[in-house]
Amino acid sequence: MNIWLKRNLKERFISDDPIVRVLSLATLVNTFGNGLLSATTAIYFTRFIHISNHWLALTYAAVAALSLAIVLPMGNLVDKYRPRKFGFWAIIAVGFFSAASIFITDLRGFIVLEVTGVIAQVAMRVNQQAYMGRLREGAERVSMMAYQRAVTNIGIALGAMAAGIALSINTALAFKVLFVLDGITWIGNAILRLRLPDLDPVPGGNKRRRTEALRDKHYVGLVGVNTILSMHYQVLNLAVPLYVDQFTTAPKWVVAATTIVNTVMVALFQVKASKGTDTPRQAASVMQRSSYYLAGGFVVYASAAWFHQPYVAAGVVLLGAFVHVLGELRQAAGAWGVQYSLARPEIAGQYQAVWTMSWQISGLITPPLLTALCLVWKEPGWFTLGAMMLIAGWCAPILTNRAVAVREREASEAEAAAASGNTAGQPATA
């Protein structure tokens, strides 16, 4: 039993690939710091710096819009530099801005910190996505991403538990310690990543048009698909807690239980769920299947309002969380496969910047949309959200097949041109 348990835990959290192990350790250190601040940043700035909820939300919205505006130029910049060195200094900058939060005393300082900090964050994220795309290919790359996601959930959970100490002490100093600790974890993350391979800049990337990835209509279409499917991440954080609280009889503890179900399932099964996404078409098929589970989970959430017994309603909510996370596991795996396998390697940074837009746009439009659908329209809104998932999932294989066909045609034309050039260069025979 112990041998079986150790083997299964090793398969889920510890890769045999040394590069993946380094990435996993760096991710664990970093996401522990993320967990420290996940539930405490807003509280600190509103309670101790006296920034109003209105200004906090407005600043975060403006920063999100700024990150969307600079992501593509940042993708072009990433292609020009060695990714390990670029990533090191970007990570150090993010850590600096996080720790610098302890010096903020008013709204003006908060806005300056957030605006400058988001530039470093976008640089780090785009570089990281492009870099990891070059470290491994195909199934190995998807597996690498799956290990990172499993470890991310563990790190954030541990960090959030540690943050409970500061929340219990409830002093400005206790919260400032969290910011400093988070800055230290960013430094640890940067140092650990120096053990990764030092790759050259993307060859030929500087010679391509700066908006070439945006002109790839099928890839951009898949970015749109991922934008819609990615809405499910905020369903668990926003729609479910408020829906359970306002429209069901389920006890309030079930909200925390849904988060636990999600965290444990992702940590245990993300690596396994990533298998079978080796090619673009396989990955798109997995994305489509994920939409069935996501839509099903949303229907189950909605039905929790139909049961008047508290513990029956709680059971329905937990069932919804279970079905939901089955879709999440597949959506993440399928998205990784499509994201990287269809990106043109000579402008990897550009393509990863464009893909990053899907998360940014989703982050901007999802909160008001979920509020309107799930909290105002209620059950019909949940069903509409599920239908959106199904339509997006249906589009994934269609767009992927067309993108693959374009790439296959371009490859054939390039081979024919090369063969023609070789023939033309041969001396004539009598």
Sign of CA dihedral 403, 366, 100, 155: negative
Where does a domain end: 145, 166, 200? 200
* pLDDT recorded at residue 7: 58
Enter the tokens of residue 297: 């989970």
Q: Is 135 among the domain residues?
A: yes
Regarding whether 229 and 178 lie in a shared domain, the answer is: no
pLDDT of residue 218: 97
> Of 200, 232, 260, which residue constitutes the final position of a domain?
200
Regarding whether 235 and 153 lie in a shared domain, the answer is no
Is 388 found in the same domain as 269?
Answer: yes
Q: Which two tokens stand for residue 414?
A: 């390039």
User: Are 133 and 65 in a shared domain?
Assistant: yes
pLDDT value of residue 416? 84
Could you tell me how far CA 364 lies from the centroid of its own chain? 14
CATH number of the domain bearing residue 162? 1.20.1250.20
Between the CA of residue 247 and those of 30, 61, 221, 237, 358, what are the distances in Å? 37, 28, 36, 16, 31
Residue 429 forms part of a structural domain: no
Together in a domain, 67 and 141: yes
Q: For residue 124, give the nearest of 213, 18, 34 by alpha carbon.
A: 34
Does any domain span residue 252? yes
What span, in angstroms and rounded, lies between the C-alpha atoms of 256 and 136?
36
User: What is the distance between the alpha carbons of residues 133 and 100, in angstroms, rounded to a whole number?
Assistant: 31
Q: Is residue 43 part of a domain?
A: yes
> Using CA atoms, how far apart are residues 82 and 209, in angstroms rounded to an integer?
20
Q: Are 248 and 182 members of one domain?
A: no
| pLDDT of the residue at 259 | 85
Task: Domain of residue 298: give its range.
Answer: 209-410
Burial-class residue 195 by CB neighbours within 10 Å (0-12, 13-18, 19+): middle
The answer to whether residue 222 is domain-embedded is yes
Mark whether 243 and 353 lie in a shared domain: yes
Specify the pLDDT at position 130.
93
CB atoms within 10 A of CB 114: 20
The alpha-carbon radius of gyration of the chain (Å, integer) is 23
Number of domains observed in the structure of the chain? 2
How high is the pLDDT of residue 428?
Answer: 47
Mark whether 55 and 179 lie in a shared domain.
yes
Same domain, 360 and 285: yes
The reply to whether 416 falls in a domain is no
Quote the tokens at residue 290.
């994920």
Domain assignment of residue 419, yes or no: no
- Give 10-residue mean pLDDT values along the chain (430 residues): 54 80 95 88 90 85 90 91 95 97 96 96 95 90 92 90 89 95 97 95 68 93 98 91 93 88 92 92 97 98 97 97 97 96 91 94 90 94 98 98 95 83 55
Instruction: Give the end of a domain, one of 200, 221, 240.
Output: 200
Report the predicted TM-score, pTM, of the whole model to 2 decimal places: 0.87
Residues 184 and 219 placed together within one structural domain of the fold: no
Same domain assignment for residues 28 and 152: yes
Residue 420 is assigned to a structural domain of this protein: no
Q: How far apart are the first and last CA of the chain?
A: 78
- How far is 125 from 67, CA to CA, in rounded Å? 11
